[in-house]
Amino acid sequence: MSGIVIAIDGPAGTGKSTVSREVALRLGLAYFDTGATYRVATLACLRDGVDLSNTSDVAAMVATMNVELILDPRAPRVLLDGEDVSAQIRTDTVALTVSKVATNLEARPILQEMQREVIRGELAGGYSDGRGVCAEGRDITTVIAPEADVRVLMTADDDVRVARRAGEGADAGTVREAVLGRDRRDSAVVSFHEAADGVHTLDTTDLTIEEAVGAVVSLAGEATQ
């Protein structure tokens, strides 16, 4: 049997990471958080003193950085030069600057190709042994994996999205800016608020995680029948 690709996109705070991880776990797939590639690229630039507004310097760093992604849904990790930087890429410093890399039109295609390679790798073998991957990120259903077996756009009301992120422990103003401000900046280069043709919309405003996971798993069941 060939592997399956499940692609989930949508703005921050819709539950896409939690749901994608759980779906991967249930179906024995790799879990691929494409946002982590933008985050680790940002960290690599910050560490090396690369000026984030210099698009070519950032692209050069992205093309040469030594990154390894561990796609285990139980413990996804990101290694930079062999060091586990999974916690560092989640700091406010990275969260508030990552849009500079995400909107860099020289760096984006390099990261996008890296992401396609990861997905191809999971269909050929990789962590999932060919079972496939549940990949999440804003342009995953449209640009990275338009041929995915299942494509889902997760949405939720703004206030619910901010409240979910605030529940993760950060200061309210920082959270509002990190969630809504970043969406606004990222919208300049990626469209992730409206579903493209063939993409299922899943509004999680009133759904529990369990319900959202169930919805994606049943779409996967339909796709592989």
What is the nearest approach in angstroms of ligand DC to the Cβ of residue 110? 13
Give the binding range for ligand DC (CB under 6 A) out of 44-52, 79-87, 137-145, 203-211.
137-145
**Residue 186 binding ligand DC, by CB under 6 A:** yes
**Residue 139 binding ligand DC, by CB under 6 A:** yes
d(CA 137, CA 12): 9
Here the tokens at position 52 are 């984030």
d(CA 56, CA 40): 17
Residues 63-92 that bind ligand DC (CB under 6 A): none
Nearer to ligand DC, 67 or 140 (CB): 140
Give the binding range for ligand DC (CB under 6 A) out of 119-127, 138-146, 196-204, 212-220.
138-146
Residues 115, 137 contacting (CB under 8 angstroms):
yes
What is the nearest approach in angstroms of ligand DC to the Cβ of residue 44? 14
- Residue 94 DSSP one-character state: H
Placement of tokens 């759980």 in the chain: 22
Nearer to ligand DC, 4 or 154 (CB): 154
**Residue 155 binding ligand DC, by CB under 6 A:** no
Sheet holding 132-136, edge to edge: 30-33, 132-136, 4-9, 150-155, 200-203
Nearer to ligand DC, 57 or 186 (CB): 186
Nearest-5° angle of CA 107, CA 108, CA 112? 125
Residues 80, 126 contacting (CB under 8 angstroms):
no
**Residue 190 binding ligand DC, by CB under 6 A:** yes
Residues 86, 78 contacting (CB under 8 angstroms):
yes
Contacts with ligand DC, residue ranges (CB under 6 A): 12, 34-35, 38-39, 98-99, 102, 137-140, 182, 186, 190
